[in-house]
Amino acid sequence: MDYILSAFYNIPGLKYFFSQEKRQQSMSSTEEGGKEYIAPLFQTVEEVLQPIPTRITGTVPEWIKGSLLRIGPGKFEFGNDKFNHWFDGMALMHKFTIENGTVMYMSRFLQSDAYRSNESHNRIVVSEFGTVALPDPCKSLFQRFVSTFELPKPTDNGNINFMKYEKDYYVSTETNLMCKVDPVMLETKEQVNWSDYIAVNAATAHPHYDPNGTAYNMGNSFGKQGTFYNIIKVPVQESEDEGTLHGAQVICSIPAKDKWNPSYYHSFGMTENFIVFMEQPIKLNVLKIITSKITGKPILDSFRWDPIFDTVFHVANKHTGELHSVTFHTAAVMMYHQINSYEDQGCIVIDICCQDDGKGYGLYQLHNLRESGKALDEVYKLVPKSIPRRFVLPLDITSETPQGININPLTYTSATAVIRADGTVWCTHENLCDEESFEEIGCLDFPAINYSKYNTKKYRYFYGCGFQHLIGTCLVKVDVVTKGLKVWQEDGFYPSEPVFVPSPDSNEEDDGVILSAVVSPNQDKTTFLLFLDAKNFTELCRAEVPVLIPYGIHGIFLPQK
């Protein structure tokens, strides 16, 4: 291992980023029989501002040409101030450039207003999800007192996902602020505020795309009338002179059931003709958010899991904005990520990764992730298990449709839908994995499909991360027809979200390659970009990176033009 790193260290301009202290921290630990010590994956790292080569083991398919862009938290303190939650860390962009059988790596911190403000003051001055910024000690006592009554400003620390709107690329968290970035050198271009185009106070980091480039997203709006969940449409621009978000419109507003305690959501479903929004019983206390500067409590404290409420599916026509007259209900579940949705025989089939407990968001505080031994085991035991499930929403419902019986016409799924006396439809799910096999991987999330060809269409395969820890411990391929699994796993390594890259002119759904950035807290193991054959799930090659990379969140693949 050392001879590899030494070789890279001799490349002009390349800095070897493992300090002795970090090398000691990265030692694998199973203290007192507990899970492996993963704290080094949640420590501040340095940027790699110029592309550096990787060491290839195996053979990179020659047809793969493009860049895997990933993002996640990469800096967790400024001066003596430390962030509290993983989601608070400053956004670090990563780029793996794949061309002619080689892979180059670089990284750069997003130069957001939040990052630059914190850096210039050498302390945390912008509040994040789990951390409230303290008043400026340089201000007078009166100024500090007055500042506590100011409304909290949203962060532009876009550490969740890369997105594309038309020809432009953005990174985003879950506020109304995005940052436009250059995907070539990862340079930050400008801040973009959704509120300058449409009346929303937030938007997700998981848009959906039609084949023609039209994008859809969802964003909340807060006002005197309460809270609304808004479906956003960003049409294809007719002129290159127009701004990327020019013409963005809210096509449907769904009133929150509890207008001052709306539901949190991370993603949504889309079919060829419909948007499916899940109003789930994880609630946001709007008053707590507004008064957070006064109380000194972070946004995290405004979250509440309230399983006395149903989870409600709202369906809207994405062409007309018309909201379906029937709502579809199921037992209280929490979801972060949709797998895929499609229409079949007058129904919407929506596949999602579900948790039966919505309290997991608080467990990813950094002091938990930096635990070791049995203490880390105890944290892991509290993490709700994410299970892929299928729901069926029959749309052709009239006054003549019988109540009290299963009206799902699809014979290939055991999911049910029953009209209740109040006119709502009660849905039960079908698990998409064989339960016995599922026990081996713990739980499953970060789903991915062959999006370019099978998004909104009936499909057979999806890919994800298995979690036998607080983070991904294996990669999984799921056959939703047979419910069989294929697994890639290697001790001491933690794979990130899989990204599917289709083979050129492929005719089969799983003809392609899975890319995943695989990290390790152990100094004797090397971070690498993994290439898996998506069909048989065997390793094609790995591209080893001679620097420490923290565990990331989401990303996209950009084919070379």
Q: Which two three-digit tokens encode residue 328?
A: 């579809």
The model's pLDDT over 244-263, given as tens digits with 9 standing for 90+, comes to 788 899 999 999 998 889 99
Strand partners, 317: 274
Confidence at residue 211, expressed as pLDDT on a 0 to 100 scale: 93
Pairing of strands 249-255, 187-193: unpaired
Percent share of the chain, pLDDT over 90: 75
Q: What is the DSSP letter of 147?
A: H
> How far is the first Cα of the chain from the last one, in angstroms, to the nearest whole number?
36
Q: What SS3 state is found at 290?
A: helix
Q: Which of 371, 119, 302, 341 is nearest to 208 (CA)?
A: 341
How far, in Å, are 44, 361, 376, 403, 537 from residue 385 at the CA level?
A: 28, 12, 16, 33, 24
- Which residues does 400 contact at the CB level (< 8 Å), separation at least 6? none
Cα 445 to Cα 385: distance, rounded to the nearest angstrom: 9
DSSP H stretches of helix in 58-187: 113-121, 141-147
Q: Which residues are CB-contacts of 72 (< 8 A; sequence separation ≥ 6)?
A: 89, 91, 92, 94, 159, 550, 551, 552, 553, 554
pLDDT at 14: 40
Cα–Cα dist 118/76, whole Å: 11
Report yes or no: 393 and 426 within 8 Å, Cβ to Cβ.
no
Contact 405, 416 (CB under 8 A): no
**Residue 134 and residue 156: Cα distance in Å, rounded?**
18
The whole-angstrom separation of Cα 455 and Cα 459 is 8
Count of all residues that appear for the chain in the document: 561
Amino acid at 301: D
What span, in angstroms and rounded, lies between the C-alpha atoms of 54 and 289?
A: 45
Closest CA to 424 of 393, 452, 450: 393
Place of tokens 């532009």: 156
Other Cβ atoms closer than 10 A to 164: 16
> Looking at residue 523, what is its pLDDT?
78
pLDDT at 34 (0 to 100): 65
Type of residue found at 123: R
Mapping DSSP to helix (H, G, I), strand (E, B) and coil, where does residue 392 land?
A: strand
- Residue numbers in the chain where pLDDT is lower than 50: 1-31, 140-149
Q: How many degrees, rounded to 5, is the angle at CA 46 between CA 41 and CA 48?
A: 115
Give the pLDDT confidence score for residue 146 in this predicted structure.
39
Q: How many CB atoms lie within 10 A of CB 193?
A: 14
